[in-house]
Amino acid sequence: MRSSFALSTLLCGTAAVLFMAACSSDEATPAPAGDGGPGGATATGGRAAGGGGAGGRAGGGAGGRAGGGAGGTSGSGGTSGAGGTAGAGGTDAGDAAAPDPVCGTKTQIECGEYIVKHIDVCGDCHSPQNPDGSFDMSKYLAGNAAFADLDPTDSTKGLVPTPNLTVLKQNGWTAQDIKNAFLNGQRPAARGGPIFPIMPYQNFHNMKPEHADAIAAYILSLQPIVNAIPTRQVLPLPFNTFSQALAPVDATKIPNTTLATTDANYEKAQLGKYLSAELGVCMECHTPRTGPTLALDSTKFFAGGEAFQIGGPFGVVTSENITPAANGIAGYVAADIVKVLSDGVNKAGQPICPPMPVGPRGAFGGLEAPHKEAIGVYLTSIAPNLNPGDGGRFPKCIPPGPPPGDGGSPDASGPDSSTPTPDSSTPTDAGNDG
């Protein structure tokens, strides 16, 4: 079954209200070690110079380094003073770097898994769907043969599948190849050419290196799943003019929180910005595209207006304005955004339309509580951006019936995506790796 998407639509990450912001790991700066005081000068004919100064003060970061004071200069006939005793080293709570606010104490692969599943929502694009719209978790991250159809009137062109990520390692991809794909939109040289910008590499380019490394490590840890993925068909205009990767998002144009740096919630907002616009996909789905390259319109970041044709009872769904504008989330507080992510309903209790992966069965439902809050603080504290082309305030939807089994949530009781089992019923071709 070929999924039909409007020509103006570039689906990436099916996520919608994402968010999260730049996180900084503050390293404690060691306090300066104290110098020993100079020894006392002796008087002519005195017995001895004064004692050396006391040892240095302990530093807050590294232990305090301090030698005793220099011995006193002996006077005529005087005995040189003894050097002071060095101060004890300071106890350090600050030698170790602060924990990563995104991954905490997770291992690198655990960090990558969390980002892939719940922040980047990779599974929503790179997993096949069941007839009821839920995801086939037995083929999680094994690609979607019919992800988007850019020309539903012609069966010979316009089909855009998503690649099988579980076979990248066995097909010779390295960590650097994987990072170059999702950060820069470039395939390995042997495969050539840019990646179609349905992949939100414009956003991901600005993520921190340690998170890019974690994603690559997790993908390389996956067990291969057999899932035949066809080659992308010839694309219709204007997509067939696409010949080079899009430029990355200019990070200086991403909306900043309006909170003062002294505000108690400022750091939460900064983390929310990172999660929503650089590490995550909220901004990508909630920003319209413009021009022949279909690049994100930087004047309308988070202002909604991107059309998603998802079929079934929903038809075309336009992404919402998630800035605090009158036709956006004006009146929402951070707790309301947490409710959207956790429960899949808006402030009035109405269900959120697909393809937003919210609620207990959605990928965003699995975000850790501090990250949901950070996204909420950020989105409710940026400047409003009134975009007449957005989809209005969270239109009321009739949610699809409950999916079978684990409901499509990567963290439900279904198969663990990190150790998938090949499906012997599928063709032996490992699938197109992109």
115-168 pLDDT, tens digit per residue, is 999 999 999 999 998 877 788 999 999 999 888 777 778 788 878 889 999 999
The string over 78-107, giving b where at least 16 C-beta atoms fall within 10 Å of a residue's C-beta and e elsewhere, is: beebbbbbbbebbebebeeeeebbbbeebe
pLDDT, residue 310, reads: 58
Q: What is the dihedral of CA 195, 361, 363, 216, to 10 degrees?
A: -70
pLDDT, residue 417, reads: 34
Mean pLDDT score, 54-72:
37
- Residue in the block written with tokens 């309301």: 336
In a 10 Å sphere around its CB, with 0-12 CB exposed, 13-18 middle and 19+ buried, how is residue 423 labelled? middle
Does residue 295 register a pLDDT over 80? yes
Mean pLDDT score, 246-271:
96
Residue 268 to residues 17, 375, 380, 413, 432, Cα–Cα distance (Å): 17, 8, 12, 31, 40
Does residue 48 register a pLDDT over 50? no
pLDDT, residue 307, reads: 74
**Which residues are within 8 A (CB) of 173 and not within 5 positions of it... i.e. 6 or more apart?**
188, 220, 433
d(CA 328, CA 361): 25
- Residue in the block written with tokens 């097909």: 171
pLDDT, residue 377, reads: 98
pLDDT, residue 134, reads: 80
Please name which of 166, 172, 167 lies closest in space to residue 189, comparing C-alpha atoms: 172
d(CA 274, CA 277): 6
Query: pTM of the full predicted structure?
Result: 0.71
Q: Most confidently modeled of 93-107, 258-272, 389-403?
A: 258-272
331-388 pLDDT, tens digit per residue, is 999 999 999 999 999 888 888 877 889 999 899 999 999 999 999 999 999 999 987 7
pLDDT > 70: percent of the chain: 62
201-249 pLDDT, tens digit per residue, is 988 999 999 999 999 999 999 999 999 888 877 776 666 666 678 889 9
d(CA 68, CA 66): 6
pLDDT, residue 367, reads: 97
Structure tokens at 81: 């003073």
**Which residues are within 8 A (CB) of 231 and not within 5 positions of it... i.e. 6 or more apart?**
161, 432
Alpha helix locations (H) across 84-200? 108-114, 123-126, 175-184
Q: What is the mean pLDDT of the chain?
A: 73
Q: For the chain, what are the domain ranges?
A: 108-379
Q: Which residues pair with 234 in a beta bridge?
A: 157
